[in-house]
Chains A and B, each alone.
Chain A
């Protein structure tokens, strides 16, 4: 600091605060700060707020800044409270204010639809047909309609087929009845898309496998090969099926 300059200090130092050096000016022009400050002589007019107008604003919920206290106790509730708050804020305007409850229904429906879509997509990509009870159904040979092996009265149907002399159908029913028995006994897991070899591989008992191989062969010759079959041949095949039935628990 040179001797021909005096200090200008901030106004805070006049209120008893520590002196702050702002700048140094030549000694000849140095004067106290209050010499620069002018006094405001303008007349102050006090304005009062109209009570009616104040009440109007006070009643308007837009100006209600009171924050509702959270009732959420865990993070999951807090998340949903936050979500709904966000949801309402983003949708609340004059046109939608009264439709908020409906919007929440729409939201839940959308969530449900999305979950359903994900399930269907997953099932489809894994080859599962969730809308079809196909896993327990087979085609009816004569009508082409879908039938459930659990719903067929095999004894009655076989008797009916034999009365009509339809030995081919009778062999088919005997084979299906054997599959049902195997499934009921838990020896195979019946599914409409499985092949006879797949069932054969599921049977672990050697004797049962051997006889099942034989009845499958007869079924295939009669059913897929459409070999003609008479009463005598049917009796022989029937005997084989009976033998297999007796082997099952």
Chain B
């Protein structure tokens, strides 16, 4: 019953093919976690940074590494530790005795896909070094600005903040992540499949099996295509209403920023494209909003004590707002 009376305005076949290829590639090694993988691809196409949160041992880093490996781009990894300095991330000027001048030595942040492992194990001072680069895609050191090459994506992993040796990330930095993706424990079936797969594996390095399926240029082209997707004005209004509601909700002491509104729209466009549409529906907005808001909104201490999660508050907000139709 797939009768279509309309001709497609945008050719999304290449994009859909590439997405399926990434999903298949990651699916060879990662068992389950379809939701995580879809959100990672959505974030990549929406030109956003992603924060992956979960308890230790649920393949957060592996998933991020696999996604990076499936793209033919410069990959760099930074392990965040409590003694890490901003210059260890951004780079530093070193005196060259031959030229009798200072030379800038680029730090690991210079790359296309940056994996920051255990991001919340470094203190606020180091986190602040990421503010400029995450938002403006450039860094300024010694009066010189260095532009990052496109695509520039930060994939950060972290353990929940109640775990030993972790810091809470500054709100300003959290707001710079498009998504916070929560990785859950696998189901029983998935866990059995993980063990079986590992048991039958011949090599120890799982990444060997993965090769790049997408180039940086293809990602740039897809992003351009996504930016031009259609969003009905009432859906923009719907998005704005959701964000406005977070600002006056009694369960929250910090609501979503205008950057959050933009993030919802951009991510909705990306997920619409993944689903083969060149227009956004309310379901796309509802699909991405929890991941966009869960790290941006802050619960009041009372609600936190009650054990309510930001996702529950977002669900309550959606119940209050009429879906435009």
Contacts and interface: CB of A to CB of B under 8 A. Distances in A.
Interface of A: 124-129, 134, 137-139, 172, 175-176, 192-197, 210-211, 213-214, 217-221, 223-227, 229, 233, 236-237, 240
Contact of B321 (A193, A218, A225, A229): A193
Interface stretch (B2-10, B206-214, B253-261): B2-10
Interface in B276-306: 277-283, 286
Interface of B: 1-6, 9, 230, 232, 234-235, 250-251, 277-283, 286, 315-325
A193 B6 contact: no
Given A127-B319, A233-B5, A226 B286 contact: no
Chain A contact residues: over half helix, strand or loop, or mixed?
A: helix
B286 A224 contact: no
Contacts of A193: 318-323
Contacts, number: 83
A46 to B, nearest CB: 74
B322 A226 contact: no
Contacts of B324: 139
A127 B320 contact: yes
Contacts of B322: 134, 137-139, 192-193
Question: Lowest 3 A-B CB distances belong to which pairs?
Answer: A225-B279, A127-B316, A127-B319
Contact of A194 (B316, B320, B323): B323
Given A127-B315, A224-B280, A226-B230, 14 more contacts: A126-B316, A138-B322, A139-B324, A175-B325, A176-B325, A193-B319, A196-B283, A214-B1, A220-B281, A224-B235, A225-B6, A233-B5, A233-B6, A237-B5
Contacts of B235: 224
A226 B290 CA distance: 27
A224 B5 contact: no
A181 B278 CA distance: 30
A223 B277 CA distance: 13
B288 to A, nearest CB: 13
Contacts of B317: 127
Nearest to B317: A127
A144 to B, nearest CB: 9
Contact of A172 (B5, B250, B315, B325): B325
B318 A223 contact: no
Contacts of A221: 4-6, 279
Nearest to A128: B319
B158 to A, nearest CB: 30
A220 B272 CA distance: 12
Given A124-B250, A137-B322, A227 B283 contact: no
A192 B230 contact: no
Contacts of B4: 217, 221
Given A127-B316, A193-B319, A223 B232 contact: yes
A175 B281 CA distance: 15
Nearest to A210: B1
Contact of B2 (A194, A214, A220): A214
A194 B324 CA distance: 10
B325 A223 contact: yes
Nearest to B306: A125
A176 B234 CA distance: 17
Nearest to A221: B6
A150 to B, nearest CB: 15
A125 B312 CA distance: 11
A99 B234 CA distance: 57
Contacts of B321: 193
A134 B235 CA distance: 18
A167 to B, nearest CB: 11
29 contacts: A125-B251, A126-B316, A127-B315, A127-B319, A137-B322, A139-B234, A139-B324, A175-B325, A193-B318, A193-B322, A193-B323, A194-B323, A195-B283, A195-B286, A210-B1, A211-B1, A213-B1, A214-B2, A218-B5, A223-B232, A224-B235, A225-B6, A225-B230, A225-B232, A225-B277, A225-B278, A225-B279, A226-B279, A229-B5
